Structures are given as C-alpha cells and as structure tokens.
Chain A
Amino acid sequence: MHDMSKRAIFLARTVAVALICVSLVVGIVLSARGAMHGVGLVLSAGVLAAAYARLVLRWHPSQPDAVESDDPST
C-alpha cells in the first residue's frame, strides 16, 4: 500500500515536471518563431513551476540551498 502511494506520488511529480518542461520548450520555440502565444505558454510553465516548487517541494526563494524538501517521497 505504501509502495503504491509512493509510486503514485512519483508518477504525479514526473507528470508535473514533464508538463513544465514541455510548456517551457514549446513556449520558447513558438516565441522564437514569432507567435505571441509562446509567451503565454512560457508563463504557464512558470506558474506551474512556481506552484510545484511551493506546494510539492515546499520551497521558498529565501530557503538555503542545502535544505531539501521534507517530503518523504523524495
């Protein structure tokens, strides 16, 4: 049961990170090609990344680098 939960969390985090990466890359490519929607995608990636860092990693910009997430699944 514990393994299942860990796997689900791992999967969810992987999907979130993948989503951020895809939004970022597609956004940059679209912006570079002159499509203004690319900017929206990069901003979406930024919001997702910020939400991920804050809610999942429990990170704050003032946090020292050595301090890692207290989430047991990491």
Chain B
Amino acid sequence: MAEQAIFSRARGLLGADTVRLIRVMAGAAALGLGFLAHELAGTSAQARHPTASVLAWLSSIGLALVACASHRHFALDRLRLAAPRWPRDRGRVAVWMVGGGLFVLAFALRAYQNDIMPLAWSGDEGSTGLTAVRMLCGELTNWFGIGWYSFPALFFALPAASVGLLGPTYGALRLPSALAGALTVVGLYWWLRAAYGWKVGVAAALMLTASHYAIHWSRIGLNNIWDGLFVVWIGGVLWRGWQTGQRWPYLAAGVLTGLSQYFYVGSRTLPIIIACWLLSMALTAREQLRREWANIAALAFVTVVVFLPLGLFFGEDVAEFMAPSQRVSLLRRDWPEPGVNWFEYTARTTGKSVPQVFIENVRDAALGFVWLPVRSWYAESGKPLLLAVPAVLALFGLGWLLVDMRNASGRYLLLVLACTIGLVAISESTPAGQRFVAGSVVAAACVGLGFALLGRLLAEVLRLPGRHGVVLAACALVVGLGFDLNFYFREYAPMASRSDPNTQVATEVARRIATYPAGSQLYFFAAPRMAYRGFATMQFVAPHVEGIDVLQPLTAAPDWPAGDAVTAFAFTPERAAELEFVRQRFPDGRKAWINMPTGQPLVLLYEVGASRP
C-alpha cells in the first residue's frame, strides 16, 4: 500500500509521460556520451582528452542507470518515507560479520608476503607493471584503448594505483589481485548463502579462501583473477534479480558485464553465458522470463553502454580484439604448420580423427579440475585445480548441480563450468593453468554443495542426527583446506614457485639491482637465451638502473666507461667465461655466483663500485 502511495505521489510529481521522456533522453544521452568518450580518447596510447573521456564514460554509465532505473527510483520522496533499513535484524548483522571475516582471512592469505610468494617475478607481471608505470608517467592515458599484450588499458589503472602508492615492487603490483581474490570469496559467500543456505555459502567461501589455485592467482600481478570476481558477482546479482524481480540487480549485472570486458579475455564469454542462461530459462520458466523482459533489456542496454568506448576502439581495430584469443587458439589456421590447425595436425600425426582429438582435449580440460596436473602457468605445482579431498567433494557437488538442473544458480554455474572447459580445450597447452580462474569459483561452489550433500548422506548412512553428519563432513572439508594451505605455503611457494631458469635469472638479478643507487648500470650477458629488454622484471623494479644487453660475445676487453654509481655485469653460465675480458677493464669488482636450489649455477654477478658485499 505504501509503495502504491509512493508511486501515485511520484507520478503526481513528475507525470508518467515526463518520466518516460526522461528515460528516453537519458538513454540517448548515455549512448551519445559513450561515443563521445571514444572520440575524446582516440585510438592511440595517449588520449586526446584523457580526463574528459573518462568523465564522459562515467556520465554515460550514470545516465544509462537513470534511463533503466525502476519506476520506484523516480519517487522523489521515497527515501524520506522509507523506514531505516540498517540494521534490519541480527541475521543480517551476522551475514555481514561472516562476510567481513571471510574477506579479512582471504585478503590476509593473498597479500601476506606476496612479493616473495610466489618466488618468481615473472616477465609478464613485469610487463603489467611497466604498463602501469607508463600510465603513471602519462605515456598511456587512453583508458579505452589497449595496454600490454593487447589487453584493455583500463585494467592497468588498478596496478597503477597500487604501484603509485607503494612504489615499483612486485608486492604493490600483486596487491589488486589479492583484493580481487578476497572480494570473490565474499561474493561467493553472499550468493551461495542466499541460493543454497549458509552451510553451502560458508563451505564454498572457505574452500575458495584456502584453495591453492585461487591463492596463487590472487598472488600474481596479472588480470586473470578478475574473471572469477566477475563470474561470482554477476551470478549473484542475476540470481537475486531472478528471484525478486527487482531492477537493480539486473542493472548491477549490466555494469559488471560491461566492466568485465576491460579485464582478462576469459570474461568475454560472460555475455554468452548470460544469454545461454536466459535461453535455458526460456525452456522451463517462460512466463517469468516474459515478466522479466524489461529487466533483461535494461541489463543488455547497460552492458552495451559500459562497453561502448572499448567496443568502438575494437571495432576500428579488430585484430587487437582478436589478438589475445588468436595467439593461443588451437583453431587458428597455419599453426603448427601451414594449411591446418592444431586439431587437424594432431589428428594426422597421431592417426586419430579430428573429433577424437577434440574430445580428448575436452576430457583433459575437464580432468584439469580434479585429476590432471595443469600445464603452462602453474604447471610447476604438478597439481590439478582441486586436491584429492576437495575433488571428491566437488564431484559430489557437481552431481547435485546435474540433478537439480532447474535451479537458476545451478544452471549458471554449469554454464560457466562448460564454458571454462570449452575454452581450455580449444586453447594451447590443455589444460593450461591460467585459463581455469573462472572455473575455480564453480569448483569451490561444487565443494560447498558436495560438503552439504555428504553431511546429509553420512547422517543417513550412519543413522545420525543431521547436525552430526554435517560435523563429519566439516571434518573432511577442514582436512581438505589444511592440505591446500599446506601445499601452497609449505611445499609450492618456498621451492617450486621459482619458475623456469630464465625467470629465475631475471628475478635474482632484479632483486639485486633494485637496491643499487640511481645512475647505476647493468651489462647483461645472457643472449641468445634471454635479454634484459625481453624480461620486463628488471626494468620494472629497477627503473633507476640502465640495462644494456650485450648481444655479441666479447672477444677482447671492452672500452666501456665506469659509471658514477654501481656498474654491474650479469652472466648466464654459458657466457661466464667473458668475465675475464670484463675484469681486464674493471679489475676491482666483486664476483658472486647465484645458484639454483639444486646447486647448479644460475647467474654470475660482477659488481664494480658496490658498497655492500
């Protein structure tokens, strides 16, 4: 009744036609400002008018939200009439407290000593860091273009913020990922608690909190971890919108879906997942879908507006849009040899049919969740996404999702799972560790569901009260979480996270030269294996040191000038003999070998003018 009264008063104040006119004008202005943002930004690294383009984009989003807002939001006196909503009850306080506790725990596990765990300072992270520094220096001001490796530039504003605050360190670079990982945990809890009850919500969130895989990607300064964040929060608000019919969750889903396109390439599947989810709803809940058409249209419109400036950029440069997926796709032509793609090539060389090779790849991608060690990034862990105990729980949870297909949340989770498997199956190095991030939140959700299911079954089999079954299942879960944490922090991080020898060389040299005074020089003797310019690690953490690649082997003493500060020389073992020529020119240096944990020599450092040992 109160709502109706508000509506009447609002319509009285503004009038239905006025409201409609405001909506249409706001919608048109939102689109116009989206185009304007693109025009103001341009297509080069430096925007024509950086601040104006960002303001135009933000205004376009604001106007799109106004255009699509529910009728109720036009009730001017609604806020005054509405009763205070916080704190509504104890239950809500408890939910916030649990969510807050999970955030603190998850963030602590992700941010604690993130500069030395993982040990490797990868070149890719260094490139991200350098792009962030370019943003800080004003060299990259177009937020609606691209940065390093054809990834949208907007993402790099996040590491730019942390690097700007804390300096060019890997700890600072990795901080936004820790934040994203922790927010993903909170989102998963918020969503699954509402959709499946508190047991599932807490168990899934704890699984994600302690997951060795999720922790690892939350400790890497790349954009992959954001996939999981968007999957969870979009799933959560979509589910809420579907349950309540409210407009705001759809608008939030629209903003998040549009925004997700500015992050890792895996998020490009999200609009497809949402479309498939809506189609699947058409099969079982056509009436409700019909009732929700306005909300769905609002979602689509807001998504388009948020994505518009970047979409227009990619429209003018399709090759850049395709680049991140094209360079790793197994479907691309002429790779690994001219005229065929990887599936055709493998079918020919193994004597199998193309469908058989494809099915095997899908199988491997699926097994990467629970059984097959991941490859490529994080391959050195030698583990699948889930260790043994969580894997069993997750398979039980997956069983529940398959049986309970009518559930809206379950369908979304299954679609994300299918999409992740599909993407991993058609991309290089199946199952590549870096492409499971979106699927990792589904895996955690499955563990939560499996935990609840196991608890009920144990109570049934052992003839126990329900709570006792849950306690037994909780024991299994706690053991699983303990194994995950133990594996990551005691087995993987201190040893295996060193990565390949070249990354180890770059990391060790970077750690050393980061402490040099400004004006120092580094001569890098590692070609053709690696180059100073090819590994952004050293440039990122030591921008004050001038790095020089010595590409050709020395055959005589060089005539290089001595610097005012430290002059250092780094040799990979195969070029260590050239130190003698350097010594002829700089006889008073200090020589130090840095070895691998196995005792094998990694890199030889010769420092001239260094004051410390």
Instruction: Give A residues with C-beta under 8 Å from B.
Output: 17, 20-21, 24, 28, 31-32, 36, 38-39, 42-43, 45-54, 57, 59-68
Q: Which of B197, B398, B455 contacts A43 (CB 8 A)?
A: B398
Chain B interface residue count, Cβ-Cβ cutoff 8 angstroms = 38
Given A43-B395, A61-B452, A66-B466: A31 touches B371 (CB 8 Å cut-off):
yes
Chain B residues lying within 8 Å of A43, measured Cβ to Cβ, are 395, 398-399
Is the CB–CB distance between B199 and A47 below 8 Å?
A: no
Alpha-carbon gap, A48 to B466, bound state (A): 20
The closest CB in chain B to the CB of A55 belongs to: B403
Q: Which of B196, B388, B404 contacts A54 (CB 8 A)?
A: B404
With A47-B402, A47-B403 as contacts: A65 and B388 at CB distance below 8 Å = no
Q: Given the known inter-chain contacts A50-B453, A53-B456, A66-B466, please indicate yes or no for A61 contacting B395, CB distance below 8 A.
A: no
Chain A to chain B: the 4 pairs with minimum beta-carbon distance, closest first: A46-B399, A62-B197, A65-B466, A46-B396
Alpha-carbon distance between A66 and B197 when the two chains are bound, in angstroms:
14
Asked whether B370 lies within 8 Å of A52 as measured between CB atoms, the reply is no
Would you give 20 A-B contacts (Cβ < 8 Å), ordered by A? Answer: A17-B461, A21-B461, A28-B392, A31-B371, A32-B388, A38-B371, A42-B392, A43-B395, A43-B399, A47-B403, A49-B399, A49-B454, A49-B457, A50-B399, A50-B400, A57-B460, A61-B196, A61-B199, A63-B197, A65-B459
Chain B 196-218 interface mask (CB, 8 Å, partner A; 1/0): 11011000000000000000000
Q: Are A17 and B466 in contact, CB atoms less than 8 angstroms apart?
A: no
Does B514 have its Cβ within 8 Å of any Cβ on chain A? no
Residue of A nearest to B404 (CB): A54
Chain A nearest CB, measured from B445 CB (Å):
11
Q: Which residues on B sit within 8 Å (CB–CB) of A32?
A: 388
| Cβ of A19 to closest chain B Cβ, rounded Å | 12
B585 within 8 Å of A (CB atoms):
no
CB distance from A53 to the nearest CB of B (A): 6
Q: Looking at chain A's contact residues, is the secondary structure mostly helix, strand, loop, or mixed?
A: helix
Q: Among A17, A51, A54, A67, which residue has its beta carbon within 8 angstroms of that of B460?
A: A17
Distance (whole angstroms) from the CB of B485 to the closest CB of chain A? 21
User: What residues of chain A lie closer than 8 Å to B399, measured between beta carbons?
Assistant: 43, 45-51
The interface residues of chain B lying within 8 Å CB-to-CB of A60 are 404
For residue B366, give the distance in angstroms from its CB to the closest CB of chain A.
9
Beyond the given pairs A50-B399, A50-B400, A61-B400, 7 more chain A to chain B contacts, judged by CB atoms under 8 angstroms and listed by A's residue number, are A42-B391, A53-B400, A54-B400, A61-B449, A62-B197, A62-B200, A68-B466
CB distance from A65 to the nearest CB of B (A): 3
B371 cross-chain contacts in A, Cβ below 8 A:
31, 36, 38-39
Task: Please give, as numbers and ranges, the residues of chain A lying within 8 Å of B450 by CB-CB distance.
Answer: 46
The reply to whether A57 and B395 contact each other, CB–CB distance below 8 Å, is no
State how many angstroms separate the Cβ of B544 from the closest Cβ of chain A: 51
CA separation between A29 and B507, bound complex, in Å? 41
Q: Known contacts A36-B367, A68-B466; decide if A62 and B400 are in contact (CB<8 Å).
A: no
From residue 511 to 545 of chain B, which have CB atoms closer than 8 A to chain A? none
User: Which residues of the partner chain B approach A64 to less than 8 Å between Cβ atoms?
Assistant: 466
Cross-chain contact B456 with A46 (CB below 8 angstroms): no
A62–B196 CB distance below 8 A: yes
- Contact at B396–A50, with CB atoms within 8 Å? yes
Q: In the docked arrangement, what's the CA distance between A38 and B391, Å?
A: 12
Which residues in A have their C-beta under 8 angstroms from that of B200? 61-62
**B197, B367, B388: which contacts A61 (Cβ < 8 A)?**
B197
- Which residues on the A side are within 8 Å of B395 (C-beta)? 39, 42-43, 45-46
B472 to chain A, nearest CB (A): 12
Whether A50 contacts B456 by the Cβ 8 Å rule is no
From known contacts A24-B392, A46-B395, A49-B457, infer whether A65 and B403 are also in contact, taking CB-CB under 8 Å.
no
> Which residues does chain A contribute within 8 Å of B457, judged by CB atoms?
17, 20, 49, 52-53
Which residues of chain B are within 8 angstroms of A67 by Cβ–Cβ distance? 466
Which residue of chain A lies nearest to B199 when distances are taken between CB atoms in the complex?
A61
